[in-house]
Amino acid sequence: MSDIKKVVLAYSGGLDTSVIVRWLQDTYNCEVVTFTADIGQGEEVEPAREKAKALGVKEIYIEDLREEFVRDYVFPMFRANTIYEGEYLLGTSIARPLISRRLIEIANETGADAISHGATGKGNDQVRFELGAYALKPGVKVIAPWREWDLNSREKLLAYCDERNIPVEKKKGKSPYSMDANLLHISYEGINLEDPWAEAEEDMWRWSVSPEAAPDTPTYVELTYKQGDIVAIDGQEMKPHVVLETLNKMAGENGIGRLDIVENRYVGMKSRGCYETPGGTIMLRAHRAIESITLDREVAHLKDSIMPRYAEVIYNGYWWSPEREALQALIDQTQAYVNGTVRLKLYKGNVDVVGRKSDDSLFDEKIATFEEDQGAYDQKDAEGFIKLNALRLRIAAGKGRKL
């Protein structure tokens, strides 16, 4: 342990990471550098500075990474229409690569010997943080206190704080759920949610009204795309993080974005969680709509076929891997002509596509029409097309083969 002189800790200022600061100091007799990232979690991050100072931390990093988070991580993921196991929009997963990258960069800047995080030994985040760290700095030492200490309950953590005079807030009425938030989503786990049969309580949700309580009048919104990314809302150009902030507000007010699932964690267990991803729910629907008129059929189907693999790569923590970069290169290449505007109707939990247009549209009304097409499409051509595609079926049937 004596070879660890300085550690960079992913620090929120909450109970767990405040305990970790002192535990690292006591256990490793080392200097601790704290890193707090503002990725849109909805809480003020600056108070973490004073909390870290009170724990004797001298090097404190607090950074606003909201624009980078959406531009370089969320948007690239949504170009692939990414969902994990058919439902989950990967809100927690996609934040970890950015945090891992900055942990390593700060370790290099400060000459630290190790990095540390507050993820438990049961979850996915330990894997995501550490796979990212090792990919970016192969020899880095990672300290994961939850895999080392015996402080395995809130009561033990609070007792540790009392014994060592660690200042922590003991707020009454604080949410009992284990929560993680960023600009893309907020997640809820624990307490009654550990029973898959128990319905989530209405007062748990923070970013959205219930569909029943949403307005009786629909909200219409137009999203403008350039090469697969949203660049304007209702004609007003916006930076990526402002796009997501705006859509979160619109969707939340209309009861959009709630999800209750049981997912398969990478470490092997099943886990029940609830998620609010208001803006992301709109983004997924709208992106598929603009692709429906701008992407070639086989390209669109190819994207759909690789999406589950791409989602697994992100969910399991392999953002900084050659397979993710290869998949991303293919995905990004398909987005060159994904330009145009999508019109949506938001109403009581639903996102309906009601219009789409693009100068790069492959939709040809002259060919698709049910009216007179003036020779644009010769229907007689379909006979040979069908016979050729039926050839193998006809041969097999002629040989008496049964399906």
DSSP 3-state assignment of 257?
Answer: coil
**C-alpha dist (Å) from residue 64 to 70, 183, 392:** 12, 12, 60
Q: Is 360 known to be catalytic?
A: no
Residues contacting 62, CB < 8 A, separation 6+: 36, 38, 45, 46, 48, 49
Q: Which of 49, 72, 178, 324 is catalytic?
A: 178
Supply the DSSP string of 178-195, one letter for each residue: EEEE-SS-EEEESGGGGS
The answer to whether 96 is a known catalytic residue is yes
Which of the following is catalytic: 22, 79, 96, 356? 96
Q: Which of 12, 16, 79, 187 is catalytic?
A: 16
Alpha carbon distance 249, 29 (integer Å): 46
The one-character DSSP state at 74 is I
Whether 125 is a known active-site residue: answer yes
Residues in Cβ contact with 132 at an 8 Å cutoff, skipping those fewer than 6 apart = 96, 97, 99, 100, 101, 104, 317, 319, 320
Which is catalytic among the residues 38, 113, 125, 229? Answer: 125
Alpha-carbon span 384 to 152, nearest angstrom? 70
**DSSP E strands, 252-368:** 258-264, 270-276, 340-347, 350-357
Tell the residue number behind the tokens 């909805």, with chain if given: 42
Task: Find residue 64's DSSP bridge partners.
Answer: 38
User: Which residues make Cβ contacts (< 8 Å) with residue 305, sequence separation at least 6?
Assistant: none
DSSP class of residue 88 equals B
178 carries an active-site annotation: yes
Inter-residue contact 275 to 189 (CB < 8 Å) = no
Q: Is 374 left (phi over 0), alpha (psi -120 to 50) or beta?
A: left
| Catalytic residue ranges | 16, 96, 125, 178
